[in-house]
């Protein structure tokens, strides 16, 4: 029987590419989304991947959402914490609400979802959790103290949870994408984007499928000895 995977924010951008890659790898995928029902319906119709709506920032909604997925598809073996938002602004302009929304979604969502699936993975002695961080959580970014803090927190969260899951066959890893050619990056003004690309040694933006391939490996049987690791996929823009 196919293993079951949940991809949060899984109906668009990097999340869509991850959902498709995991389906291609033979997993039974549930794509979570927060609000755009029309986009989710189109995604499900086009891909055949079921979509499930809940807000990852809402702890109870995550617990109930996982129960809904399990009732439809079976126990969850793989979790990809991909859902994320931006509310950019320098700290002089950043509101508490903008800080809280980004922390609660990008970092709190990882806790909420892991809390819902980790006990079952541990009991079954097999699981894969992949958390999507960011180059900006590693290197920082002007005007993104909320986003950088949340993404940086993901890398620490990953290492700590990896230690809890290791002996139970549950691996926990992170991927830190660089600048990827998605709707989020397309919203960046053209002159700013030019300067960003100029700082990427390979000379281009990344593709969502390149992130998805990394996720697919970390979710596979072959990655059983990889845990607590962060895989940077950023075209050489940040190395350490």
What mean pLDDT is predicted for residues 71-85? 98
**Which residue is it, tokens 């029902």?**
37
What mean pLDDT is predicted for residues 112-130? 98
Q: Does any domain span residue 224?
A: yes
Q: Model pTM?
A: 0.96
Strands laid side by side in the 4-7 sheet: 50-53, 28-33, 4-7, 76-81, 127-132, 170-177, 230-233
**Nearest of 51, 67, 57 to residue 7 by alpha carbon:** 51
Give the domain extent around 13: 4-232
For the annotated catalytic residues, the residue numbers are 147
Q: pLDDT at position 128, please? A: 98
Q: pLDDT at position 188, please? A: 80
Q: Does any domain span residue 240?
A: no
Q: Does any domain span residue 237?
A: no
Q: Does any domain span residue 238?
A: no
Give residue 190's pLDDT band: very low, low, confident or very high (50, 70, 90).
Answer: confident
Q: pLDDT at position 187, please? A: 78
CATH number of the domain where residue 94 is located: 3.40.50.720
Q: Does any domain span residue 85?
A: yes
Give residue 192's pLDDT band: very low, low, confident or very high (50, 70, 90).
Answer: confident
Q: pLDDT at position 240, please? A: 78
Number of folded domains in the chain? 1
Q: Does any domain span residue 35?
A: yes
Q: pLDDT at position 182, please? A: 86
Q: Is the pLDDT of residue 183 over 90?
A: no
Spatial distance between the Cα atoms of 8 and 189, rounded to a whole number of angstroms: 27
């Amino acid at each position: 029987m196919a293993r079951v995977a949940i991809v949060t924010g899984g109906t668009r951008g990097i999340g869509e590419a991850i959902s498709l890659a995991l389906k291609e790898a033979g997993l039974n995928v549930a794509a979570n989304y927060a609000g755009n029902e029309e986009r989710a319906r189109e995604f499900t119709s086009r891909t055949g991947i079921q979509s499930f709506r809940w807000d990852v920032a809402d702890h109870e909604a995550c617990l109930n959402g996982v129960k809904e997925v399990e009732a439809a598809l079976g126990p969850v073996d793989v979790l990809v914490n991909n859902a994320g938002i931006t509310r950019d602004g320098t700290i002089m302009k950043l509101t508490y609400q903008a800080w809280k929304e980004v922390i609660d979604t990008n970092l709190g969502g990882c806790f909420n979802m892991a809390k819902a699936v980790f006990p079952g993975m541990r009991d079954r002695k097999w699981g894969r959790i992949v958390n999507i961080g960011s180059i900006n959580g590693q290197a920082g970014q002007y005007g993104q103290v909320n986003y950088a803090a949340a993404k940086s927190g993901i890398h620490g969260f990953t290492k700590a949870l990896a230690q809890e899951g290791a002996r139970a066959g549950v691996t926990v890893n992170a991927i830190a994408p660089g600048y990827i050619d998605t709707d989020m990056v397309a919203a960046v003004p053209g002159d700013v984007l030019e300067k960003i690309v100029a700082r990427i040694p390979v000379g281009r933006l990344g593709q969502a499928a390149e992130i998805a391939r990394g996720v697919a490996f970390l979710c596979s049987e072959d990655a059983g000895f990889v845990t607590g690791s962060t895989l940077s996929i950023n075209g050489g823009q940040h190395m350490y």
